[in-house]
Amino acid sequence: MKLLATTIIALMITISMQAQVTINGVTLPAKLKVGDGNISLNGGGIRKKAFFKLYVGGLYLSEKSSDAAAIVSADKPMAVKLQITSGMISSDNMSEAILEGFEASTGGKTEPLKAKITAFVNTFKKEEIKEGNVFDIIYIPGKGVESYKNGKLQGTIVGIDFKKALFGIWLGSKPADDDLKTAMLGK
């Protein structure tokens, strides 16, 4: 009987670890399809500024990790899913925030990545951002970072150097939001 109870508890823990998560009314799926495989939700949280909840962000990895530096440096499939939860976000202020994020992520050394950063920021300017929009930013080794808005491919930026700077926006030593970083790392 003890063995049966232990098995049931272990199964429930395993299922709950693989379940989707709902944060601030946004459901982050347990898995995302990347290429021929899947990556799993590592953690998710809310990006806040002042008193505003701007978006829900989820980090997806091929294997769970709470080591931000290792994640940023890894040449493995990974993704960040962002769902806009505030009408305060526009294409212009999202673009500005991303530029500030790259500055922080690279320690102000954005010049070598300038063309790539500009191309990435322009994906947010193609069409006005609205509350409810979903952005999937997916890194595929050997291919680059694919950016999707509401499931539609917006562009692809090549290079692990760009990927490291981009993921550093959320996971670097000066992240966009410390609490969101902690939540994405599953802590």
Rounded-to-integer distance, Cα 136 and Cα 150, Å: 8
Strand partners, 147: 137, 155
Q: Give yes or no for residue 16 having a pLDDT over 50.
A: no
Main-chain phi, psi angles of 75, to 5 degrees: -100, 65
> Which DSSP state fits 27?
E
In whole angstroms, how far apart are CA 124 and each of 26, 54, 94?
A: 21, 15, 7
Rounded distance, CA 105 to CA 162, Å?
Answer: 11
Confidence tier at 13 by pLDDT (50, 70, 90): very low
Other Cβ atoms closer than 10 A to 5: 9
pLDDT tens per residue across span 171-186:
999 999 999 999 999 9
Residues whose CB is less than 8 angstroms from the CB of residue 1 and which lie 6 or more positions away in sequence, other chains included? none
**Paired tokens of 153:** 């491919």
pTM: 0.87
Task: Give the chain's domains with CATH numbers.
Answer: 22-184 (3.50.70.10)
Identify the H or E element spanning 182: helix 178-184
Render pLDDT for 124-133 as a digit per residue (tens, 0 to 9).
Answer: 888 899 999 9
Contact criterion met (CB below 8 Å) for 40 and 19? no
